[in-house]
Amino acid sequence: MNPRRPAVFLDRDGVINRTVVSNGVPHPPQSVAECEILPGVAEACGKLKAAGFPLIVVTNQPDVARGAQTRDEVERINQHLRLLLPIDAVYVCYHDTADDCDCRKPRPGMLIRAAEDLHLDLGSSYMVGDRSGDILAGAAAGCTTLLIDLPYSKGDRCEPDFRVASLLEAAGKILISASR
């Protein structure tokens, strides 16, 4: 049996691709045409992948449950990102908050499922996100957490292990931490 290995879990919107912020609230792209990868993301993913980390996207997409987005379009966006970046897997929660599911962040369900599916060691893994729900899910799963500080995340009440300005900065911290 293969030993469990560490991974880097990434939120999608605001970490990998640009969000549209309206009234202080970030919104995902509505289509592949609107999906813009953030500066430094390809380099960060390349460095993490070269260091041997599986890259796993874990993303809440409640607009599907709310009727504002289709599951097919979310899947097209995810496939687009997988074509451009060395992402190993994408786990999506399509539920809304009221659904009270196990997979919606801040609950750790997507991370736990990925760990089971892909034979990952959550205790030596990392979760990078831009909101408190990402950090809380990562912490609940036992991961080291990194919060990308953005204007809309300033008021979030969470205690990440690291605060960074970008995924590229997060990758640097992960690579230093993993080498210890």
pLDDT digits (tens, 9 = 90+) for 46-64: 999 999 999 999 999 999 9
- Catalytic one of 13, 63, 72, 134: 13
Q: What is the pLDDT of residue 24?
A: 81
Q: How confident is the model at residue 179 (pLDDT cuts 50, 70, 90)?
A: confident
For domain 8-178, the CATH class is alpha beta
DSSP 121-135: -GGG-EEEESSHHHH
**Per-residue pLDDT at 54:** 98
Q: Which of 15, 4, 36 is nearest to 90 (CA)?
A: 15
Q: What dihedral angle (degrees, nearest 10) is formed by the CA atoms of 133, 134, 135, 138?
A: 120
Q: Is 45 annotated as a binding residue?
A: no
Q: Is 35 annotated as a binding residue?
A: no
What values do phi and psi take at 131, rounded to 5? -145, 165
Query: 11 an active-site residue?
Result: yes
Check 11, 63, 99, 134 and give the catalytic one: 11
What band does 120 get if pLDDT is binned at 50, 70 and 90?
A: very high
pLDDT at 69 over 90: yes
Indicate the domain borders of the chain. 8-178
| Residue 155: pLDDT over 80 | no
Answering whether pTM is above 0.85, one says yes
Q: Is 93 annotated as a binding residue?
A: yes
Structure confidence at residue 1 as a pLDDT band (50, 70, 90): low
Question: Of all helices (H) and strands (E), which one includes residue 168?
Answer: helix 167-178
The sign of the dihedral angle between the CA atoms of 79, 83, 37, 6 is positive
For the cut 70, the answer to whether the pLDDT of residue 78 exceeds it is: yes
How high is the mean pLDDT of the chain?
95
**Residue 143 assigned as binding residue:** no
Residue-wise pLDDT tens digits, 123-149: 999 999 999 999 999 999 999 999 999
